Chains A and B, each alone.
Chain A
């Protein structure tokens, strides 16, 4: 089965769960006065779940020619390992780590680390250029966002205060 049908299957299951919630669980706590309305909170989701299930079924069971093969300039997922998959996965891990570290470690350290390590994952080795650039960029963005725009970003690790 081609990837697009697998995805259709997954979306089908999601929309069935969504439809179940819309049809059976969403209206349970609805107060009586709202039940007299022409529209309930579940009306629109019900319509959507029916639409989504039918579209997913058409793709899943359709007689379409399936995959037309990779288009030019596009990535062919059947040969995924031919590409720099490792780098991509590492970068995603870096992003997740950044999301988790941003609050506890503070903006300045986590951003510098993210930019530096990501560039090194991509193959940059000249630390003498890399570090000054990332430090400068981090400081600049922090200054712009926190000082100029007034949006709070905790600059330092949590045990060093709020940097207010």
Chain B
């Protein structure tokens, strides 16, 4: 292994490759900030440039820089204007945006950058050590287990429901799942619930829904209640540093979520989105009572967890790509395309035949993460200044960028009308205290859930797969615990308040 690291280092540490990493990180960060352009689209835009470089290691180093930059850029728009442009940064906005509103935008971005860095770096270390071993484990996951894993992800809704809100959160999740069934699924070749409208044939767009659920209601709230925008400290640079106590608070969270996120990322198809939701849910469930109250209102733990998990999972998704040649996510699928175009065939033989490429990718992950941190920490005060833009300018621009996000993805003006309509619905739902995050989570996981469920049903000709596969049973058991635990805790708290529970 040491020999491999040396090969990787000598490949990666040339002047031109370091320039490529820096350039990639910058491009990724800035384009990633636009909602609607996630890592996947940015990497596919960069592929022609990468291929024209000719050297596979250099091309991969550039793409890795773009990848990490895009992930960080996506978190920025989640934190600053509550507009998550990528599914995996949705969980970042749950606590990142409240922090920004409390005038701690700089600190939130710093925590996000550091958590991303740690998640990515720990992920890269794990990738280096465990890649070959993990590849075989990932193959043990069949559609039945994926279905169960999605159920675990959905049971995360328990994490977003306040007391007495569980039914509302559940209803919103189901509504999200219902919206995911609109359009033509991959499995059935049959348009469902489109009501004959052509534009619904491909279903609702993710970016449209994300903007309608989060960014648009928030912008409308800012318009309706000007005092909301005044109480944020105008993006001042104060509070940029993380105190020692805060560092102590988030360090275990980052460590746990980096490992958990990496393991989820290794599974093909699960990816960064589920890792970030699960990371958030798990951290909330194991936090102490006081800390739990803070989740969703600007908790540093709640911000660090999804960020670390998300980045570690992105690194983890390289395991099946590099060792088996199976892309585990959309982004790695595009990377696979780039690799093949560069005459590199990822698979079990890659480590033997072309070790310099395998190790260059891993080393470029370290460099990408490090460069990102070094570049972004000084930039954070300036990025946070976005919030200091006068309200009369900021709001039209937020609205404009949400619309651009929805439009660029689909190139369809009807999508914009849909955005406005859904945004109004979301605002009314928010008036009545319905949580909106579960709806979006349901929507994101809905199609994956149904596809895997359908596949498992077909393979086992019925529901038998639940009993036949112990891992499925185990995962469904975890899901049940995730849902029951909060209500059990609430019950205990109620009983304790009456002074009964202490006796047991």
Q: Which of B73-81, B85-93, B186-194, B262-270 contacts A (4 or more CB under 8 A)?
A: B186-194
CA distance A98 to B393 in the complex (A): 17
CA distance A111 to B404 in the complex (A): 10
Q: Known contacts being A51-B174, A119-B393, A124-B392, is A18 close to B224, with CB within 8 Å?
A: no
- A24 at the binding interface (Cβ < 8 Å): no
- Chain B residues lying within 8 Å of A151, measured Cβ to Cβ, are 408, 411
Q: Mark B178-199, 1 if CB is under 8 A from A, else 0.
A: 1001000101101011000000
Once the chains bind, are A111 and B188 in contact (CB under 8 Å)? no
Tell which of B185, B413, B458 touches A38, judged by Cβ atoms closer than 8 Å.
B458
**In the complex, what's the smallest C-beta–C-beta distance from B254 to chain A, in angstroms?**
29
- B457 at the binding interface (Cβ < 8 Å): yes
Once the chains bind, are A145 and B408 in contact (CB under 8 Å)? yes
Determine the residue in chain B with the shortest Cβ distance to A104. Answer: B413
Determine the residue in chain B with the shortest Cβ distance to A12. Answer: B171
Contacting residues of chain B (385-431) with chain A, CB-CB under 8 angstroms: 391-393, 395-397, 399-400, 403-404, 407-408, 411, 413-414, 416-417, 419-420, 423-424, 428-429, 431
CA distance A123 to B391 in the complex (A): 10
Tell which of A4, A11, A150 touches B433, judged by Cβ atoms closer than 8 Å.
A4
- A3 at the binding interface (Cβ < 8 Å): yes
Q: Known contacts being A55-B167, A84-B226, A103-B413, is A39 close to B432, with CB within 8 Å?
A: no
Once the chains bind, are B392 and A122 in contact (CB under 8 Å)? yes
- A77 at the binding interface (Cβ < 8 Å): yes
CA distance A125 to B428 in the complex (A): 31
- Chain B residues lying within 8 Å of A62, measured Cβ to Cβ, are 167
Q: Known contacts being A4-B432, A98-B416, A99-B416, is A55 close to B171, with CB within 8 Å?
A: yes
Tell which of B31, B174, B393, B414 touches A55, judged by Cβ atoms closer than 8 Å.
B174
- Chain B residues lying within 8 Å of A55, measured Cβ to Cβ, are 167, 170-171, 174
- Chain B residues lying within 8 Å of A64, measured Cβ to Cβ, are 164
Once the chains bind, are A45 and B432 in contact (CB under 8 Å)? no
Q: Known contacts being A103-B413, A115-B396, A122-B392, is A15 close to B404, with CB within 8 Å?
A: no
CA distance A102 to B403 in the complex (A): 11
- Chain B residues lying within 8 Å of A34, measured Cβ to Cβ, are 188
Tell which of A4, A65, A77, A92 touches B168, judged by Cβ atoms closer than 8 Å.
A4
Tell which of B187, B221, B416, B428 touches A7, judged by Cβ atoms closer than 8 Å.
B428
Once the chains bind, are B431 and A52 in contact (CB under 8 Å)? no
- Chain B residues lying within 8 Å of A59, measured Cβ to Cβ, are 167-168, 171
- B146 at the binding interface (Cβ < 8 Å): no
- A13 at the binding interface (Cβ < 8 Å): no
**In the complex, what's the smallest C-beta–C-beta distance from B49 to chain A, in angstroms?**
11
- B462 at the binding interface (Cβ < 8 Å): yes
CA distance A43 to B431 in the complex (A): 33
**In the complex, what's the smallest C-beta–C-beta distance from B469 to chain A, in angstroms?**
16
- A91 at the binding interface (Cβ < 8 Å): yes
How many of B's residues come within 8 Å of A, CB to CB? Answer: 62
Q: Known contacts being A91-B399, A95-B420, is A73 close to B171, with CB within 8 Å?
A: no
- A127 at the binding interface (Cβ < 8 Å): no
CA distance A84 to B164 in the complex (A): 31
Once the chains bind, are A37 and B458 in contact (CB under 8 Å)? yes
CA distance A132 to B297 in the complex (A): 38
- B453 at the binding interface (Cβ < 8 Å): yes
- B223 at the binding interface (Cβ < 8 Å): yes
CA distance A45 to B397 in the complex (A): 38
Contacting residues of chain A (95-118) with chain B, CB-CB under 8 angstroms: 95-96, 98-100, 102-103, 111, 114-115, 118
Once the chains bind, are A3 and B431 in contact (CB under 8 Å)? yes
Contacting residues of chain B (187-230) with chain A, CB-CB under 8 angstroms: 187-188, 190, 192-193, 219-221, 223-226, 228
Q: Mark A133-151, 1 if CB is under 8 A from B, else 0.
A: 1000100010001000111
- A75 at the binding interface (Cβ < 8 Å): yes
- Chain B residues lying within 8 Å of A124, measured Cβ to Cβ, are 392-393
| Apart from A91-B223, A122-B391: 14 A-B pairs, beta carbons within 8 A | A4-B434, A7-B428, A11-B171, A18-B178, A38-B460, A48-B178, A77-B431, A83-B225, A99-B417, A100-B417, A122-B396, A133-B393, A141-B404, A149-B31
* Residue contacts A-B, CB under 8 angstroms, 24 given: A3-B428, A4-B433, A4-B434, A7-B434, A11-B175, A45-B181, A49-B178, A52-B175, A55-B167, A83-B224, A84-B224, A84-B225, A87-B224, A88-B220, A91-B219, A91-B220, A91-B396, A96-B417, A100-B413, A114-B400, A122-B392, A133-B393, A150-B45, A151-B411
Interchain residue pairs A-B with the least CB separation, the first 7: A99-B416, A118-B396, A83-B224, A55-B171, A77-B431, A124-B392, A4-B432
